[in-house]
Amino acid sequence: MFLHQTRTLRWLMAGVVCLALSACSPDERPDKTQMAPVDYFRQTQAHTITPDGEILLSTVQEVGPNLLQYETSGGGTYQVRYSSQGEGFRYYDVRRVDQGATIVSTPVAE
């Protein structure tokens, strides 16, 4: 192998590693230990579509212990309970709070 080829290969490999590292980051799950649950929710639910439309991220707030509240593009205001599960969170007990109290208490928190 020629010297100039070795150098080129090194640079190219370094470039590939950098690219791969930077490319992997968008798909990495946010580290929940480094942020508040409300921020984790904002980061992970940006593309979620619910039966009442998309979640309006600017409206997400923590309104109680393990209880988040948010609004949807469909005009509903919801509260959801969460518990820590693995590297993320498990969401359950979604309740619509802007029209009466319809409580649905599953999936069960684990």
Print burial letters for 7-18: b (CB count within 10 Å at least 16), e (below 16): eeeeeeeeeeee
Q: Which residue in 39, 50, 57, 84 binds another protein (CB under 8 A)?
A: 50
Interacting residues of 81 by C-beta distance below 8 A, sequence separation 6+ = 66, 67, 68, 91, 92, 93, 109
Does residue 101 touch another protein according to CB under 8 A? no
**45 three-state secondary structure:** coil
**Site membership for another protein, residue 36 (CB under 8 A):** no
Cβ 55 to another protein shortest distance, Å:
8
Q: Does 64 bind another protein (CB under 8 A)?
A: no
Binding stretches for another protein (CB under 8 A): 1-2, 5, 8-9, 12, 16, 19-20, 23-24, 26-27, 29, 44-52, 78, 80, 85-96, 102, 104, 106-107
